Amino acid sequence: KPVTAIGAEAFKGIRDIGAVVIPDSVTVIEAGAFRNCVNLTEITMSNSVTTIGKEAFAYCNQVKAITLPETLTTISEGAFAFCRNLRSIDIPDSVQTIGDYAFQVCASMKTATFGTGLRTIGEKAFWDCAALTSVVIPDGAPTTIGKKAFYGCKSLKEISMPKSLKTIDKMA
C-alpha cells in the first residue's frame, strides 16, 4: 500500500537528513514531520501534496530554496517558521491559505510572490522576515491580510496590493 501521508513528527529532529524527496503518493505532510531537521538543505515535493501541516518544516535552518507544488492548497501555521536561510518563496496559484506564523523569522527571505488563488495571509505569517524587500500580491488575491502579517520586515521597500483586498488587519 503506498504512503499517503508523512506522519506527525515522523522525522522530527533527525540531524542526518540532508535532502527529502516527497513521493507522488503523498498528499499530506503532517504537523512537525521534519521540524528541527537542522541539516536539511533540499526539499523536493511531488505534485500530489495538498497540505503542509503545522510546523512541518519549522527550524530547518539550512533550507535555502523550496519549490511548492501546484496542487498545494494549505500552508499551515508555522510550516516554515524559523527557516533562517530560505531566500525566497513563490506561492502557487493553488494555495488558498497561508497560516499564522507560516514563514515567521525567515531572516534571509528577500522576496515573496503570491498566486491568484490565495484568500488569506494569516497573522504574523511573514513576521520579522528582516531581509524581505518585495511582496507581490496579484489582483484577485487575497481577500484578507492578518494582523502583523508583515510586521518587523525592516527592509520592505515595495508591496503590491490587489483591488480585491477586503481586510488589512491591525499592524499588517
pLDDT in tens, 72-110: 999 999 999 999 999 999 999 999 999 999 999 999 999
Minimal CA–CA distance to 144: which of 126, 162, 131? 162
Neighbours of 41 (CB within 10 A): 16
State the pTM of this model.
Answer: 0.94
Distance of alpha carbon 90 from alpha carbon 81, whole angstroms: 16
Residue 144 pLDDT level (bands cut at 50, 70, 90): confident
Cell 494582523 belongs to 147
